[in-house]
A = this chain, B = another copy of it.
Amino acid sequence: MSLASLPLQTGMDAIVTGVNLVWVLTVTFLIFFMHAGFAMLEAGQVRSKNVANQLTKNLLTWSVGVIVFFLVGAAVSTIVGGLTGGGGVSITEAFMAIYAPDAASVTAWTDWLFGAVFAMTAATIVSGAVAGRAKLRAYISYTILLAAVIYPVVVGFTWAGGFLGAMGFHDFAGGMIVHGMGGLAGLTAAWIIGPRMDRFNADGSVNVIPGHSLSFAVLGTLILAFGWYGFNVGTAAAPLALNDAGEVTLGSFAYVGRVALVTTLGMAAGAIGAAAVAMQKTGKVDTLYVANGLLAGLVGITSIADAIVWPGAIVVGLLAGAQLPIVFGFIEKRLHIDDVCAVFPVHGSAGILGALMFPFFATSFWNGSASFVSLAIPQVVGVAVIALWTFGATYVVFRGIQATGELRVSAEHEREGLDTSEHGVDTYPEFGKPEPVTDGSGVPVDGTVRTDGGKDE
């Protein structure tokens, strides 16, 4: 389009569009910034020999993923939504709506970018689960498929008008669609690729491999919380709308204050819930549990932040935080899955929890005439479908890559660290990094890998 084709909105139309653009762009930038949060949170939780690998994966998740989501993923959402929701769908139109939107649509690409930052959040969660042993090219291959198909199908089923959306599945800002999906994908991937060496012993006991910097982990947590306000509060609809009479109205933005409040209380209660459980178990307040509990509280409230009042937000936050140490212990000690950055307890189980809480907390005011069962069924079905799809698709892709022998680095490379083998760099060339020493039984005896003295039991 040339400048001459500039859509010349005037009057109230222009005011509504202008104000809404200011809002959606601001919150989109905040959500983008969550990538810095994930980069720091994950980098802090890995060994110093794998930090550059984790950082590079975060940079490339965004860089590769957002282009793939533009070229393929966004249109796939529309197509899947149309195919499964009973609406008509034209593949050509779906792609052209992204590539060359109607010149009169001044919000097409800002809407796309708002969707893209959600998609990339789902994508980046996975890297934390497979840290320290996945080959870069394997991880990027999965990211491409996630951005092109796996995540877009979930959006197609739900927000884009597919069958889950049509039957009433409720997910306000992606607690299940984005975080639950990402957490489930991470858990599946971590299971298939297997644990890091020395993580579990032959007798079934567990070693703790502490991350190299709690400072970066907590910095990442607070950056994520900052961006999450964009995630949740930004989803609270456009500030202004036009009603049928052509008047400007606030629309559902009138509820934005409640969304901001319950998001705040949910994260706060999540930190407290995790701290309390950790305290009860070990007598100490584990910093990482507090940080991850805050994030779990945010995940838990995300799908229902439009449908819950504040006492419920505190309850959901406490539950989401409290389940974190318990679920993490179960995955580690019973399933022997090495979910390095606890992405399933933080994003997966907390996302599922939030989605299933909807009928409990929404009935009284969300839709007075709806029964508990009529609200609960779509939630249960939705969680099950998203979980099965995510598990199945991730399983197929990771098993496929595994069959080529390209999924996991060699034991030698894992031992020396992926920074060296995959990137040829040393993240901290000036700081001492003692290598773990094993006592011959496979159990490291130095301070960097600790045998867990039943801490979470």
Residue positions of A touching B, CB distance < 8 A: 1-3, 6-12, 14-15, 17-19, 21-23, 25-26, 28-30, 32-33, 35-36, 39-40, 43, 47-48, 51-52, 55-56, 58-60, 62-64, 66-67, 70, 99, 106-113, 116, 136, 210, 212-216, 218-219, 221-223, 225-226, 229-230, 233, 239-240, 243, 247-250, 252-258, 260-261, 264-265, 267-272, 275, 282, 284-288, 290-291, 294, 310, 314, 365-368, 419, 422-434, 447-448, 455
Q: Which of A60, A214, A447 has its CB near the most chain B CB atoms (within 10 A)?
A: A214
Residues of B within 8 A of A11 (CB): 247-248
**Are B33 and A254 interface neighbours, CB within 8 A?**
no
**Are B32 and A260 interface neighbours, CB within 8 A?**
no
A286 in contact with B113 given A14-B248, A29-B226, A222-B33 (CB within 8 Å) = no
**Are B18 and A239 interface neighbours, CB within 8 A?**
yes
Residues of B within 8 A of A287 (CB): 52, 55-56, 59, 419, 423, 425, 427
A22 in contact with B25 given A55-B215, A423-B286 (CB within 8 Å) = no
Q: How far is the CA of A261 from the CA of B108 in the complex (A)?
A: 10
Q: What's the minimum C-beta distance from A40 to chain B, rounded to whole angstroms?
A: 6
**Are B226 and A64 interface neighbours, CB within 8 A?**
no
Q: What's the minimum C-beta distance from A104 to chain B, rounded to whole angstroms?
A: 9
Q: How far is the CA of A9 from the CA of B253 in the complex (A)?
A: 11
Residues of B within 8 A of A112 (CB): 257, 261
29 of the cross-chain contacts (CB-CB < 8 Å) are: A6-B252, A7-B254, A14-B247, A15-B15, A22-B26, A25-B229, A29-B226, A33-B226, A40-B219, A59-B218, A62-B271, A63-B270, A63-B272, A64-B272, A70-B264, A106-B255, A109-B258, A110-B256, A210-B426, A210-B429, A212-B430, A213-B428, A219-B219, A284-B423, A287-B419, A287-B423, A430-B432, A430-B434, A432-B432
Copy tally for this chain in the complex stands at 3
Residues of B within 8 A of A294 (CB): 59, 63
**Are B32 and A225 interface neighbours, CB within 8 A?**
yes
A21 in contact with B422 given A59-B290, A272-B67 (CB within 8 Å) = no
Question: A18: nearest residue on chain B (CB-CB)?
Answer: B239
Residues of B within 8 A of A255 (CB): 6, 106
Question: A257: nearest residue on chain B (CB-CB)?
Answer: B109
**Are B36 and A265 interface neighbours, CB within 8 A?**
no
**Are B428 and A268 interface neighbours, CB within 8 A?**
no
**Are A67 and B215 interface neighbours, CB within 8 A?**
no
Q: Which 9 A-B pairs have the closest CB atoms?
A: A109-B257, A36-B222, A63-B271, A18-B239, A284-B424, A63-B268, A55-B218, A110-B257, A52-B287
